[in-house]
Amino acid sequence: MRRLIAPSILSFDLLGLAETVPNLIDAGADIIHLDVMDGRFVPPITFGDNLARSLRARTDAFLEVHLMTEAPEDQFEAFAEAGCERILFHLEATHHAHRHVQTLRKLGVSPGVVLDYNEANQVVGIEMLHLSRRSPQFNFQKLQFQTA
């Protein structure tokens, strides 16, 4: 299985993304990863579908959005319409993961589920599993290498 490189733009200077994204692709990035935080599910607030739409207008790179939000389903359509090819949501943010997977497929988007490294839930029917090495509640923490 080929490993994909998916840098998160969260750590980049947002004012310089127009130059940064092409450089990431030229350097070998396969996916541009957007971490969307609502300030409730996790403390920070980042950005919304407008940034995804702006990126889509400037690149044909594969866009993946990681929704760290209390009600991820409320944003599925907006990010699909913005041009994201994959949408990831946290299992602990919903009791209806199977419905969300179906909804995302109907929107023409690849569904993905994010499991916190402390979770042991099993999920059937997803196309991608994002195993976070950090707890989403805390920004700028050390990687949990024992989970690798």
For residue range 27-47, what is the model confidence (pLDDT) as tens digits?
Answer: 999 999 999 999 999 999 999
Per-residue 3-state assignment (H helix, E strand, C coil) for 80-136: HHCCCCEEEEEHHHCCCHHHHHHHHHHCCCEEEEEECCCCCCCCCCCCCEEECCCCC
Q: Is residue 2 part of a domain?
A: no
Q: Is residue 131 part of a domain?
A: yes
Q: Is residue 115 part of a domain?
A: yes
Asked if 113 and 93 count as a contact pair (C-beta separation under 8 A), the reply is no
The tally of domains found in the chain comes to 1
Q: Is residue 83 part of a domain?
A: yes
The CATH number linked to 120 is: 3.20.20.70
Helix, coil or strand: residue 38: strand
Query: What's the residue count for the chain?
Result: 148
For residue range 55-106, what is the model confidence (pLDDT) as tens digits?
Answer: 999 999 999 999 999 999 999 999 999 999 999 999 889 999 999 999 999 9
What is the residue range of 89's domain? Answer: 9-147
